[in-house]
Structure 1
Amino acid sequence: MLSSRPYLARALYEWLLDNDNTPYIVVDAEQDGVQVPRQHVQNGQIVLNIAPGAVRDLLIANEGVSFNARFGGQPMHVSVPTPALVALYSRENGVGMVFGHEPVMPGADEETFGEAADLESSASPRPTLASVGSASAAVDEGNGKQASAATEESPVEVKDGEASDSDEQSTDGDDQPKPPRKGRPSLRVIK
């Protein structure tokens, strides 16, 4: 299963901007693949302003967050893999989210997710649809007569306060159901 962290980060980022807040991210600078200005790292973490006025080319992708920014007047490309994203919050009021540790789902890591789906789809044949004719136009091959699904079942009449035979057990001691009525179906109006 894919990580929910980038999806939540994109949503929070957009929500904070819509509410005129400044989005900040907290990054675990000690994880592999993190490219941040090391001179500003404190206690293994760094807080970065990712507001549109502070960064250029911001991309919050499933793989991570990347952008270009200036630190002490020096341009730098910042890259933060998704697992290194610790939190996203508002500078003004602290509203946001701290991302906890995500459990690893057995048998569904990101690298083999697409490959497993390809193998599964190639292993089983695709189902096909078959055309089925109308029941009223079906011809009984045994005697050449037309058969109808409606003629094989008797019409059910239900009066107010009564239940059909299929809803209740027969109380007359006869456990055998009545044979269906043959012939053309009819509708009787009961007042």
Structure 2
Amino acid sequence: MQEISTKPYFMRAIYEWCTDNGFTPYLAVKVGSAARVPMEFVRNGEIVLNISFGATSGLKMDNDAVTFKARFGGVSRDIYVPVENVMAVYASENGQGMAFEVELIEADETEAEAPAPVEAVSKPVLGLAAVSSKPSLVEATASGDEQKKSEKKSEKPSLKIIK
């Protein structure tokens, strides 16, 4: 049996944290052919979606995809985003949240295909913690001193990088 990624669990946790603290949760998505989003709002192959309770209807975040209905320009749209296409979940008010590796899923791909190599995966959004369900050798050997130095650099609220 294939192990389930930690990514959807982290996504749900950040969403819940945002709503518990009265923040507006946003979902940053790398748009591919498998994602169903309003293409007129896509910029540079990416879209940011407000996934708050007031902005969505029927929000469902499962282990495979995020689905909901939302209004864009007064028109209700069905939104479908594969978990693999999610770049980040964060609070719009302060930018705190979590960024993820993106393994873009195309509509004609099957689950049996091998994941993209680490070099081909897009970089996480700056200012957000990067999370990978499969840590690389470099991440596994990073020292705690480097994390402490990077935390001291910024005075603004930010997330700690989890390795």
Under TM normalisation by the shorter chain, which class is it? 0.5 to 0.7
Q: Distance in 2 between matches of 1:89 and 1:82?
A: 15
Percentage identity across paired residues of the two chains: 46
Tell me what 2:133 maps to. none
Q: Which residue of 2 aligns with 1:99?
A: 100
Q: Secondary structure at the match of 1:48?
A: strand
Question: C-alpha offsets along residues 19-75 of structure 1, whole Å, 9 cap, x if unaligned?
Answer: 11000000111x231000000000100000000000000000001100001100111
Query: Offset at 1:101?
Result: 4.7
The structure whose Rg is larger is 1
**Quick check: 2:90–2:97 contact (8 Å CA) kept in 1?**
yes
Query: RMSD in angstroms over aligned alpha carbons?
Result: 1.6
Partner of 2:116: none
Match for 1:11: what amino acid?
Answer: A
Structure-2 residue corresponding to 1:60: 61
TM-score by length of 1: 0.52
C-alpha displacement of 1:80: 0.1
- 1:89 corresponds to which letter in structure 2? Y
Amino acid at match of 2:52: A
> Helix, strand or coil: the match of 1:17?
helix
**Do residues 24 (structure 1) and 29 (structure 2) align?**
no
Distance in 2 of aligned mates of 1:43 and 1:19: 31
Q: Which has the higher strand share?
A: 2
Match of 1:36 in 2: 37
Relative distance call for 1:93 and 1:81 in structure 2 (3 A) is same
Instruction: Give 1:1-191 correspondences, 5 Å limit.
Output: 1-29=3-31, 31-101=32-102
Contact 2:70/2:77, CA 8 A, preserved across alignment: yes
Match of 2:140 in 1: none
Q: Give, as a single letter, the amino acid of the residue that structure 2 aligns with 1:13.
A: Y
Matches of 2:54 and 2:30, distance apart in 1: 23
Residue correspondences, number: 104
Distance 1:12 1:83, change over 3 A: same
Structure 2 gaps, min length 5:
104-110, 113-163
CA distance in 2, matches of 1:34, 1:101: 13
Aligned-partner SS, 2:19 = helix
